[in-house]
A and B are shown apart, each in its own frame.
Chain A
Amino acid sequence: MLAQHLPVLVAVVPLVAAPLIVVARSGFLGWVTALLVAAATTAMSAALLAQATASGTISYAIGSWPPPWGIEYRVDAANALVALLVSAVALVVVPYARRSVSAEVGQDRQYLFYALLMLCLAGLLGMALTGDAFNLFVFLEISSLSTYVLIALGRHRRALLAAYQYLVLGTTGATFYVIGVGLLYLATGTLNFADMAVRLADVRDARPLAAGLAFITAGIGLKLALFPLHAWLPNAYACAPSAVSAFVAATATKVSIYVLMRVYFSVFGVDAVFRDLPTGAILAVLSVAAMFAASAAAIVQPDLKRLLAFSSVGQVGYITLGISLGSAPGLAAAMAHVVNHGITKGALFLLAGAMALRLGGTGMDRVAGLARTMPVTAFAFVVGGLSLIGVPGTAGFASKWALVSAAIEAGRWWIAGAVLLSSLLAVAYVWRFVECAYFREPPAGAPDRDEAPADMTGPALALTAAVVAAGLFASPVLEASTRAAAALMGFAR
């Protein structure tokens, strides 16, 4: 009975939890609720993924209004995978948040933190699972508005400015998306993605469609920090509270990437996007620029969290590069990197938060000698860094290998070369951390050996272990991504 409502419950449960937490006005109750909700959404997403893998697309008509008139939730192997990534990261971040948030957010505001986290989770899961273009916009704004406030909870006053800048750019991006959807709605008369995919074939005038595609690409490109639309990201990630940085870095851009995939491969189709329009070439150039420029910028950052943020922009470049190939293997590689980079960056930001708790910040001068003061954290951070580079045995290797293979298969040797060359820049920025942590003396007055408490180190190490596991046993993620790519490309009814 309940099982048939899973597609909508995944988004509704956290949405309902948020006001309940506000009413309870207790940081502890909020934390317990958030933990239960994260566990529930993870279980439900896993069940949906299993069901979608076994028996194909699940269609859920909200309020029993049949699609395309009503809002449809449409779950397949692609968005169930994204939903599972988002909820699993939430399940790791919430236990971690208890102590981290106590240290970084005022006592009287902690319950609001958990309420906002639940709103953000609801927004991201709704974006992933909905099959309706306008419903997606509403969930996009739910997740965005809660993210702005979460970022503004950061300790330094710069967090306010970062949140404001993200609000202006994020709203502009979302509005671009609505303009694009509006143009498609005018041309097709429908907002249901599946219905739109069918009706687009009958539209004779291609120009509004191309304009709509351009608006959606620019709008979602802002949200996923496609170079050069990434200006909001470094400050936002660097100034947010540690738990927020980890959650948002691992999930928010990833869900936007999924939306771009859905619009390109499911709604418009490969031919319309990559054969009739130069989307592939534009996306490839921007992606390669991100891989080099953002990774190079990461090398010179004075702060570890800013370094990770710039690295995120570069890593998003690898994902969009996979999309730009316009082929099933390229899309599968992009999806695999969404998952693998999501858990890698989540783990790294959690570890950075552990450092911030003990050292009072993540400036490069503060993490000097970290191997002596926090050896476990430092070692785990290096493991995560190796995954950013793409060293064999880590998650990053598996998806970069898939990306290089897909590029070679598509006959784009220069893309394969660019991936390998830009990885050298990742070596450089990861080495900066190694050099600081292992080859420098701790600053005067640093504690002897002082790991962060187990309830923070535990979740961070668990996610780091997942990074290694996804590297050693790469096939589950790669197979799930291949199925996701097939579901994205074979979408229309």
Chain B
Amino acid sequence: MTLLGHFTYWATVFLMMTGLHVVISRGNLVKKLVGLGIFQTSVYLLYIGPGKLVGGTAPIVGPGIATYSNPLPHVLILTAIVVGVATLAVGLALVVRIREAYGTIEEDELLAADAEDD
């Protein structure tokens, strides 16, 4: 029961670790950004999951509505999604510029090119 009851937490932790692992282990700059996106998405789940009540309705004022889900996490995460999209956009723009300047987006080749510059 607890194992299933904590389902959203398991999903959150799995996504979190997956994302962070991709960021650390991949040398391709685009793949790193994909990992970063997964990592950020896991946090959306961390906020949204606990906001839902069993049997709760949407947070609307109306007759017969007594139990409703917490609306605040949704609002927070809408903001966080916007921030995440902006980060991804800036990150991808940088990758495009890096590719133009270096001709590659593999981390080890970039570092080798930098070492040659010295």
Point out residues on A near B: beta carbons under 8 Å.
Answer: 134, 137-138, 141, 145, 148-149, 152, 156-158, 160-161, 163-164, 167-168, 171-172, 175, 178-179, 182, 185-186, 191
Contacts and interface: CB of A to CB of B under 8 A. Distances in A.
A158 B117 contact: yes
B79 A145 contact: no
B46 A152 contact: no
Interface in B20-52: 20, 23, 29, 32-33, 36, 39-40, 43, 46-47, 50
A141 B86 contact: yes
Nearest 7 A/B pairs, CB to CB: A157-B101, A141-B83, A164-B94, A160-B98, A182-B46, A160-B97, A171-B87
14 contacts: A134-B76, A141-B86, A145-B86, A145-B87, A149-B90, A152-B94, A157-B101, A160-B94, A160-B101, A171-B91, A172-B39, A175-B39, A179-B16, A182-B46
Interface in B75-118: 76, 79-80, 83, 86-87, 90-91, 94-95, 97-98, 101-102, 110, 114, 117
Contact of B114 (A158, A163, A191): A158
A175 B36 CA distance: 9
B11 to A, nearest CB: 15
A191 B110 CA distance: 42
Contact of B46 (A137, A141, A179): A179
Contacts, number: 68
Contacts of A164: 29, 91, 94-95, 98
B26 to A, nearest CB: 11
Nearest to A185: B47
Given A145-B87, A152-B97, A168-B32, 14 more contacts: A134-B76, A157-B98, A157-B101, A158-B114, A160-B94, A161-B102, A164-B91, A167-B87, A168-B33, A172-B20, A178-B43, A182-B46, A182-B47, A185-B47
A375 B20 CA distance: 50
Contacts of B79: 134, 138
Nearest to B117: A158
Nearest to B83: A141
B80 A178 contact: yes
Contact of A172 (B23, B83, B117): B23
B76 A157 contact: no
Nearest to A135: B79
Question: Most chain-A Cβ atoms within 10 A of its Cβ — which of B32, B86, B90?
Answer: B90
Contacts of B80: 137, 178
Given A158-B117, A182-B47, A186-B50, A175 B40 contact: yes
A171 B97 CA distance: 19
Contact of B87 (A134, A141, A156, A160): A141
Question: Most chain-B Cβ atoms within 10 A of its Cβ — which of A134, A164, A179, A186?
Answer: A164
Contacts of A178: 43, 80
B97 A168 contact: no
A112 B86 CA distance: 17
Question: Most chain-B Cβ atoms within 10 A of its Cβ — which of A141, A149, A171, A186?
Answer: A171
Nearest to B40: A175
A158 B117 CA distance: 9
A156 B114 CA distance: 11
A94 B79 CA distance: 31
A160 B95 CA distance: 8
Contacts of B76: 134, 191
A161 B87 contact: no
B117 A148 contact: no
A178 B83 CA distance: 12
A167 B47 contact: no
Contact of A161 (B23, B83, B110): B110
B23 A167 contact: no
A157 B110 CA distance: 11
Contacts of B98: 157, 160-161, 164
A164 B39 CA distance: 17
A422 B33 CA distance: 38
Contacts of B20: 172
Nearest to A235: B114
A185 B94 CA distance: 34
B51 to A, nearest CB: 10
Contacts of B32: 168
B94 A179 contact: no
Contacts of A161: 98, 102, 110, 114
Contacts of B90: 145, 148-149, 167
Contacts of A171: 36, 40, 87, 91
A318 to B, nearest CB: 30
A164 B114 CA distance: 14
Nearest to B86: A145
Contacts of A191: 76
Contacts of A141: 83, 86-87
A175 B23 contact: no
A171 B32 CA distance: 12
A96 to B, nearest CB: 26
Contact of A175 (B43, B94, B110): B43
Contacts of A137: 80, 83
B67 to A, nearest CB: 16
